[in-house]
């Protein structure tokens, strides 16, 4: 085991130098001219940039993290939405190469703070102390920006997104490597959109480890009939949300894997891919060593529940571990809509009478109108 940790430690140094990561985004059209979104998680590897910005006083407001106020240099990113360059969008990398939207207008900062306080559940005294610190720094130095991975409603509206899938490309200029970019997708949905959560490793694949490895060499290790099942849900207006505790550094390979899956001419339906914003080593430790994937998944689902703003939208989920049940329950998914699958394709769920029922995917397909 010690040799594994030594290898991972070396890998961590490498990933900081060359690995970048991203996750897909869900934007919710609330129907009243207002929009909310999950975090725009993007991180570039440790690169040297051509034009590091001037030093500013920065406050970062990110969910699950303590608000940080400090001076730092920012690097401006160029964003492309559906192929169109958008220089008007203020998006920067901080001193850890993590991307954020930037704001300096009071109305925007107030909106972000309200969201931050609601989700972090800070009390009034904590809010006042934090605001006093910001005011002191702001008065001392007018070069002040508030950073957030979650944009304001006005910013989302200005992106001019279409309903459904949209592409977003983040681009930055580096000294040695030239232009570097990362691409992912933004899914715009209505507030009442039905969502089905699917784990990837051990759920779409028959094994948490073998599935991804064997598929790379052209061998099929996917659960039988999984493509047909998810397509039937898609036809019934469910959005399939593919979720994994993998690091967002693995976004590209994970997305490619999902796109390659095909059974009897049927591919997996399109859907956002949510991965952990953790670095590769941290995500590996939590998923493989500690086996606490419910922690990472619960955090991602909390972001989604907060974004949607209503309960009952996440209407089902499938995983391969007991802690997947815990994560899905935290998102208010009913027990009878939570499915656990093993490598033999056997599925277990708990019905309304709290009794276990066993199926195969093929049997669920036959009963899909009764279950969904």
CATH of the domain at 245: 3.40.50.1000
Q: Quick one: 256 and 219 in the same domain?
A: yes
d(Cα 251, Cα 149) in Å, to the nearest integer?
18
Cβ-contact 179, 172 below 8 angstroms: yes
Q: What is the pLDDT of residue 2?
A: 46
Q: Quick one: 182 and 196 in the same domain?
A: no
Q: How many domains does the chain have?
A: 2
Please list the residues that pair with 22 across neighbouring strands: 42
Q: Quick one: 177 and 51 in the same domain?
A: yes
Q: Quick one: 340 and 296 in the same domain?
A: yes
For the residues of 280-321, what is the DSSP string, one character each? HHHHHIIIIIS--HHHHHHHHHHHHHHHH-SSS-EEEEEESS
| pLDDT greater at residue 273 or residue 125 | 273
First to last CA, the chain: 44
Q: Quick one: 178 and 205 in the same domain?
A: no
The percent of residues in the chain predicted with pLDDT above 90, rounded, is: 38
Mean pLDDT, the chain, rounded, equals: 80
Whether 155 maps to a domain, the answer reads yes
Domain boundary among 188, 220, 254: 188
Q: What is the pLDDT of residue 3?
A: 46
Q: Using 50, 70 and 90 to split pLDDT, how confident is the model at 63? A: low
d(Cα 76, Cα 326) in Å, to the nearest integer?
39
Nearest of 75, 87, 82 to residue 147 by alpha carbon = 75
CA angle in degrees (0–180, nearest 5) for 136-141-142:
105
Q: What is the pLDDT of residue 49?
A: 59
- Do the strands 194-199 and 238-247 form a parallel or antiparallel pair, or are they unpaired? parallel
Q: What is the pLDDT of residue 15?
A: 33
Q: Quick one: 209 and 178 in the same domain?
A: no
User: CB within 8 A of 47, min separation 6: which ones?
Assistant: 97, 172, 174, 175, 177, 180
Instruction: Give the 3-state secondary structure of 314-335.
Output: EEEEEECCHHHHHHHHHCCCCH
Whether 157 maps to a domain, the answer reads yes
Q: What is the pLDDT of residue 167?
A: 97
Q: Quick one: 139 and 238 in the same domain?
A: no
Cα 216 to chain centroid, rounded: 24
Q: Quick one: 31 and 127 in the same domain?
A: yes
- Do the strands 144-148 and 99-103 form a parallel or antiparallel pair, or are they unpaired? antiparallel
Nearest of 155, 93, 156, 103 to residue 134 by alpha carbon = 103
Q: Quick one: 218 and 119 in the same domain?
A: no
Residue 75 class from Cβ within 10 Å (0-12 exposed, 13-18 middle, 19+ buried)?
buried
Range of the domain at 33: 20-188
pLDDT in tens, 179-188: 888 999 999 9
Whether 3 maps to a domain, the answer reads no
Domain boundary among 160, 188, 216: 188
Whether 2 maps to a domain, the answer reads no
Whether 12 maps to a domain, the answer reads no
Whether 11 maps to a domain, the answer reads no
Cβ-contact 276, 246 below 8 angstroms: yes
Cα 6 to chain centroid, rounded: 29
Whether 8 maps to a domain, the answer reads no
Whether 166 maps to a domain, the answer reads yes
pLDDT in tens, 281-330: 565 555 555 555 666 777 788 888 888 876 668 999 999 888 888 888 88
Q: Quick one: 318 and 332 in the same domain?
A: yes
Q: What is the pLDDT of residue 131?
A: 55
Q: What is the pLDDT of residue 12?
A: 41
Q: Quick one: 339 and 247 in the same domain?
A: yes
pLDDT in tens, 143-194: 678 899 999 999 999 999 999 999 999 998 877 777 888 999 999 999 889 9
Q: Which value, to the nearest 10 degrees, does the dihedral of the CA atoms of residues 311, 306, 42, 252 take?
A: -10
pLDDT in tens, 68-125: 777 888 888 999 999 999 999 999 998 888 999 999 888 898 888 888 777 666 544 4
Q: Which helix (H) or strand (E) holds 91?
A: strand 91-93
Residues in the chain, total: 372
Taking residues 46-73, what's their average pLDDT?
A: 68
Q: Residue 214 pLDDT more than 50?
A: yes
Q: What is the pLDDT of residue 104?
A: 87
Q: Quick one: 157 and 279 in the same domain?
A: no
Domain boundary among 140, 173, 188: 188
Q: What is the pLDDT of residue 292?
A: 58
Q: What predicted TM-score, i.e. pTM, was given to this entire model? A: 0.85
Q: Using 50, 70 and 90 to split pLDDT, how confident is the model at 221? A: confident
């Amino acid at each position: 085991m010690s040799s594994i940790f030594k290898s991972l430690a070396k890998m961590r140094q490498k990933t900081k130098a060359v690995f970048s990561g991203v996750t897909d985004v869900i934007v919710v059209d609330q129907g009243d001219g207002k929009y909310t979104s999950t975090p725009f998680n993007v991180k570039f590897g440790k690169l040297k940039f051509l034009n590091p910005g001037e030093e500013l006083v920065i406050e970062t407001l990110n969910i699950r993290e303590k608000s940080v106020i400090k001076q730092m240099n920012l690097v401006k990113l160029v964003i492309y939405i559906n192929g169109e360059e958008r220089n008007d969008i203020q998006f920067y990398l901080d001193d850890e190469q993590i991307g954020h939207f930037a704001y300096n207008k009071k109305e925007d900062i107030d909106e972000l703070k309200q969201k931050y306080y609601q989700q972090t559940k800070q009390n009034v005294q904590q809010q006042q102390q934090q605001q006093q610190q910001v005011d002191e720094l702001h008065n001392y130095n007018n070069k002040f920006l508030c950073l957030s991975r979650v944009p304001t409603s006005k910013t989302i509206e200005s992106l001019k997104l279409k309903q459904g899938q949209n592409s977003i490309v983040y681009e930055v200029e580096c000294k040695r490597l030239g232009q570097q970019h990362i691409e992912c997708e933004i899914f715009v949905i209505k507030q009442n959109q039905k969502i089905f959560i699917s784990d990837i490793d051990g759920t779409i694949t028959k094994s948490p480890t073998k599935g991804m490895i064997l598929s790379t060499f052209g061998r099929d290790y996917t659960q039988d009939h999984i493509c047909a099942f998810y397509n039937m849900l898609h036809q019934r207006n469910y959005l399939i949300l593919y979720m994994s505790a993998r690091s967002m550094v693995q976004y590209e390979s994970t997305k490619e894997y999902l796109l390659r899956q095909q059974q009897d001419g049927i591919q997996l339906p399109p859907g956002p891919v949510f991965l952990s914003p953790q670095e590769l080593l941290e995500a590996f430790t939590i998923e493989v060593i500690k086996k606490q994937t419910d922690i990472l998944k619960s955090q991602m689902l909390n972001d989604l529940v907060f974004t949607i703003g209503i309960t009952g939208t996440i209407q089902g989920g499938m995983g391969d571990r007991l802690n997947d049940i815990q994560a899905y329950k935290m998102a208010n998914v009913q027990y009878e809509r939570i499915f656990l699958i093993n490598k033999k394709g056997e599925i277990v769920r708990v019905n309304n009478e709290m009794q276990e029922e066993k199926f195969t995917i093929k049997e669920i397909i036959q009963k899909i109108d009764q279950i969904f």
